[in-house]
Structure 1
Amino acid sequence: MTMTPSLAGAGLDALNARVQYDLACLNIPPANWVPQQTLDNGQAVHDVVIIGGGQCGLVAAFALLSGGISNIRIFDRNPVGLEGPWLNYARMETLRSPKTLPGPSYGFASLTFRAWYEAQFGTQAWEALDKIPRPTWMAYLSWYREVLKLPVENNVKVEHVTPEGDLLRLELSGPGAPSETVLTRKLVMATGREGTGAPKIPTFVDSLPAHAWAHSADEIDFARLKDKRVAVIGVGASAVDNAAEALEHGAQEVRFLIRRKQMPLINKMMGIGSFGFTHGYASLPDEWRWRIMHYSFATQTPPPRGSTLRVSRHANAHFHFGCGINTMRMEDDEIVIETQQGVVRCDYLILGTGFEIDPLARTELAGYADRILLWRDRYQPPAELANDELGNFPYVERDFAFQEREPGEAPWLRNIHCFNYGATVSLGKVSGDIPGISEGASWLAGAIAANLYREDAELHWQRLEQYDSPELLGDEWEATPLPEHAGNV
């Protein structure tokens, strides 16, 4: 289904009206059906709290509201308009994903990026658009949040989550944080690429002062790199994007130090994306899921063609393959890097080393993250498929909930849902990447709804027994006695 042609170029007011009409036609949001819980001291208990107001947090919230679960809160640590990576550490010019993907639209044509873009710029502009510019995607997400009236609370960081019986208590900080702690029955960690870990920092930078290097996810003052020699570790998308920024800000030179011997050329996962893969991957046996993800990790994902050309058009950009790092040290203000091919000297180092999966690195889970079931606890691959990184991913079921490593030791983990990159090995790319996030949100909302209903079964039974709104008033018929020999001729 495509957007109604009359809305193309009609402006956001017309599109907003269409969205509201579509929601009204489907009775979204319906009335809340979850019984309200309150502590003896009067403190309210929320049904769901979502950490993260980026694209995954937004579509998760919409899915829950669409299912009649309205007692929710969404916390994001960033200011309004800076949720997610798009205007923070993401530095690509355009998204990798094709512009036609439905993304977080959750089955609504009027909520797609295309509808939003055409409403403002018209059909011809849409046809002329190649890839979606990164800031434009952030503008679309801001509109999505606004038109759906999603209750994101900004400048609120969740510091720690403490189990309290069947509930979870959240300790909050930041200028937007409420003064009291918050209680919730279910917690959704829509925390993005670093959602179950942290930036991967190799030990070889331990000898360098903090001002000499940065991870690609850090805030970097690229203007300060003018006329500087910059070394970039890695050649993934983030490494390439950060190198481009340095070059465009006047770096004297940028040298990629790349461990692998050649550039990966094919994004293998792009070749198998389908409705079947999205819904079928999660049901595969462990050995198949491990095999697929191991292959994806081993072949690696190449940086986008446009991003790579953005770098290579600079004559002072250099790609050095087979150039793994041995050691690093400082000599005065100069970084000296010993590589497998020789010595490289530079003024600044950028780590394009990605993120690692490590639940123990999450401060929110401090004190019990070691009780989370990981893939290495559940599955032992054959020697040729061994991979410590894959083994660190949490092993989650279709509801995205953490599971206990030792049954009975941390039952509250089932109330924390890993709706982020950490669920990838278990469920595929349905909790972070644009292609599958609406499907993932649907699974998440359905599972949370089922869990809440099951936990409240006694209350719902009482509602059933106590329901007394009559369908009939008694005046719709008149009782008559059966006459003798009724029906005889």
Structure 2
Amino acid sequence: MTSEQERLDDLAQRAREELAMLSFATKPWVIPQSRDGERIPDVVVIGAGQSGLVVGHALKRRGVTNILILDRNPAGYEGVWDTFARNYEIRSPKEVMGADLGLPSMTIQSFYETRHGKEAWKAIKRVPRRDWMDYLRWYREIADLPIENDVQVTNIDYDAGGVTLTTADGRQIRARLAILATGMDGGGAWTTPSIISDNLPKSHYNHSCDVFDANRLKGLDIGILGAGAAGFDVSVAALAAGARSVTMCMRRPSLPMIDVAREIETAGQLNHGHELSDATKWGLAKFLSGLSQSPAEHHFHKAVSYPNFRMCAGAPWQSVRFEDGKVCVTTPKGDFAFDHVFAATGVCVDMMRRPELKKIAEKAALWKDRFVPPPEDPSPDRLRFPYLNHHYQFTEREPGTAPGLNRIFAFNALAALSMGAMAAVSISCHRFGVPRVVDAITSFLFREQEDQLIPTLAAHDKPGIDLPDHVRAMLEMPAEGELAQAS
């Protein structure tokens, strides 16, 4: 009986064989560029989580091999899945495709079945989170990408000729193009309402997406503000750690029950959402934010199975104060006293809250510069999104004032409004979103070397066939050895 590692090694070999079978037109074609005598990367991908890996691999498969991928986290801990995520399984359906780039052996199904068996795959609805992260680690090995971990990008500058990145240790990296693959909070920050942050010591609250030790919640009364998926995730983590009680408060009059995300996972929306009119994109964003999303099935049922878990609908937090070591909360449904509270309140998009994006934010067009919202839905938060073109590129607020800004691509939360729902962050976006942004990058690089196309072809002097000496004599051509001596 083979071990799991042996089976995974066999799968890796099959994946490499499939990559070789589909190797046509994957050879490098980008003409090198140098700065101060050193070749610079053609593309730097910021973020080596799931999106960064798939974009990097797709670029490599298109013959763009001189790339560099940077991530602030240690190797194997990129993204959310083994850092602060607490969901048991990923939200996307198990059949999700895209990272595989069309290779059967690189699908999550092949990986999972190799690990656990075909019957185990049939038995699950969604992929367990830790299996998904292990899949990404395995995927990184097969893709064989140039990744540098523990690198924090602190500034992104640009000019007509390229992009300059500065890292936390003062290093500067010059590249022709850059792509942001930095996930949900890559365009802003996780948001904790001021009613919490202004009134409580930091020791008594967290955002649900903070990294924290759940064991310290043992024996405590915990309050959760927000009834989204993250709220249930942190509730289960606290209950499993032995919290005395968990109370979840939501402003809505009832728990959201509709799974809208699955309804918009169609080829139409995922592939053409960016082609919708601005008015429809705005209206869709309003609809989705107003409807909310049902909690993830597994952790919902897990949470409500605990007798010490309670949900309070129609209970927004009206006041919060810290008194005698307790977090005292007033709601329309009564007053509560907690030992610790969590804000499961999502993320805001605001480039000015990201130090590395400030140069971009200074000159990039935002939705407020291009769109007048309807009076009944002004949504200043939404107006802060960048107004991207159809290729995920930033655009100038004032034409001609920011040459080189279009060398930066936003394949993260910043793309959500311009590119359509689930355009760049969800796992579901990979099948259609990755080819689209890679098309844009390769098009940019190819067009930029247009003037060198014919000279490059003219300089090509490798013969298509090897002539035998008697044919050379027939044609009165020098023999192969004589050519070598002459040269």
TM-score higher than 0.5: yes
**Structure 2: how far apart are the matches of 1:188 and 1:272?**
25
Change (3 A) 1:367 1:332: farther
**Structure 2: how far apart are the matches of 1:91 and 1:121?**
22
Q: Is 1:240 matched up with 2:232?
A: yes
Superposition deviation, residue 454 in structure 1: 1.3
Checking the alignment, whether the CA contact within 8 Å between 1:23 and 1:29 is kept in structure 2 is no
Give the match for residue 188 of structure 1: 179
**Structure 1: how far apart are the matches of 2:24 and 2:347?**
37
Superposition deviation, residue 473 in structure 1: 8.6
1:457 counterpart letter in structure 2: E
Superposition deviation, residue 186 in structure 1: 0.8
**Structure 2: how far apart are the matches of 1:26 and 1:248?**
47
Give the match for residue 203 of structure 1: 194
Change (3 A) 1:405 1:11: same
The equivalences for 1:74-223 within 5 A come to 74-173=69-168, 180-205=171-196, 206-223=198-215
1:35 counterpart letter in structure 2: I
2:85 counterpart letter in structure 1: A
Q: Is 1:22 matched up with 2:25?
A: no
Aligned residue among 439, 445, 464 for 1:452: 445
**Structure 1: how far apart are the matches of 2:313 and 2:362?**
37
**Structure 2: how far apart are the matches of 1:312 and 1:454?**
57
Change (3 A) 1:9 1:210: closer
Which deviates the most, 423-432 or 438-447?
423-432
1:455 counterpart letter in structure 2: E
1:77 counterpart letter in structure 2: R
Checking the alignment, whether the CA contact within 8 Å between 2:360 and 2:405 is kept in structure 1 is no
Superposition deviation, residue 103 in structure 1: 3.9
The equivalences for 1:417-436 within 5 A come to 417-428=409-420, 429-436=422-429
Give the match for residue 480 of structure 2: none
Checking the alignment, whether the CA contact within 8 Å between 1:29 and 1:65 is kept in structure 2 is no
Which deviates the most, 138-147 or 284-293?
284-293
> Residue by residue, what CA displacement relative to the aligned partner does 1:14-52 show, whole Å, maximum 9, x if unpaired?
21111111111111682211111112x223311101111
Give the match for residue 301 of structure 1: 293
Checking the alignment, whether the CA contact within 8 Å between 2:220 and 2:244 is kept in structure 1 is yes
2:182 counterpart letter in structure 1: T
**Structure 2: how far apart are the matches of 1:16 and 1:290?**
43
> Residue by residue, what CA displacement relative to the aligned partner does 1:116-170 show, whole Å, maximum 9, x if unpaired?
1112332222222332111111000000001111222111111111225422111
1:134 counterpart letter in structure 2: R
Superposition deviation, residue 444 in structure 1: 1.1
**Structure 2: how far apart are the matches of 1:22 and 1:186?**
29
Root-mean-square deviation (CA, aligned residues, Å) is 2.2
**Structure 2: how far apart are the matches of 1:85 and 1:29?**
34
1:447 counterpart letter in structure 2: A
Which deviates the most, 365-374 or 49-58?
365-374
2:79 counterpart letter in structure 1: G
Checking the alignment, whether the CA contact within 8 Å between 1:106 and 1:439 is kept in structure 2 is no
Give the match for residue 360 of structure 1: 352
Change (3 A) 1:372 1:438: same
Superposition deviation, residue 355 in structure 1: 0.4
Q: Secondary structure of the residue that 2:99 maps to in structure 1?
A: helix
Give the match for residue 32 of structure 1: 28
Checking the alignment, whether the CA contact within 8 Å between 1:373 and 1:405 is kept in structure 2 is yes
Superposition deviation, residue 339 in structure 1: 2.3
Give the match for residue 389 of structure 1: 381
The equivalences for 1:246-395 within 5 A come to 246-395=238-387
Q: TM-score, normalised by structure 1?
A: 0.91
> Residue by residue, what CA displacement relative to the aligned partner does 1:331-367 show, whole Å, maximum 9, x if unpaired?
1311112223332211111010010011111111124
Q: Is 1:73 matched up with 2:65?
A: no
Checking the alignment, whether the CA contact within 8 Å between 1:161 and 1:171 is kept in structure 2 is yes
> Residue by residue, what CA displacement relative to the aligned partner does 1:359-387 show, whole Å, maximum 9, x if unpaired?
11111112441322222222223223432
> What 5-or-longer segments of structure 1 have no aligned partner?
1-7, 480-489
> Residue by residue, what CA displacement relative to the aligned partner does 1:2-23 show, whole Å, maximum 9, x if unpaired?
xxxxxx9981122111111111
Change (3 A) 1:388 1:340: farther
**Structure 1: how far apart are the matches of 2:379 and 2:104?**
41
Checking the alignment, whether the CA contact within 8 Å between 1:322 and 1:341 is kept in structure 2 is yes
Give the match for residue 478 of structure 2: none
**Structure 1: how far apart are the matches of 2:69 and 2:145?**
8
Checking the alignment, whether the CA contact within 8 Å between 1:329 and 1:337 is kept in structure 2 is yes
1:193 counterpart letter in structure 2: M
Change (3 A) 1:151 1:383: same
Superposition deviation, residue 472 in structure 1: 7.5
1:441 counterpart letter in structure 2: V
Change (3 A) 1:164 1:280: closer
Which deviates the most, 203-212 or 372-381?
372-381
Q: Secondary structure of the residue that 2:78 maps to in structure 1?
A: coil
Change (3 A) 1:305 1:134: same
Checking the alignment, whether the CA contact within 8 Å between 1:10 and 1:120 is kept in structure 2 is no
Checking the alignment, whether the CA contact within 8 Å between 1:9 and 1:118 is kept in structure 2 is no
Q: Secondary structure of the residue that 1:46 maps to in structure 2?
A: coil
Which deviates the most, 59-68 or 21-30?
21-30
Q: What is the count of residue pairs matched by the alignment? A: 467
What's the % identity of the aligned pairs? 33
Change (3 A) 1:208 1:225: same
Which deviates the most, 102-111 or 353-362?
102-111
Superposition deviation, residue 388 in structure 1: 2.6
Checking the alignment, whether the CA contact within 8 Å between 1:403 and 1:414 is kept in structure 2 is yes
**Structure 2: how far apart are the matches of 1:122 and 1:244?**
28
1:185 counterpart letter in structure 2: R
Q: TM-score, normalised by structure 2?
A: 0.91
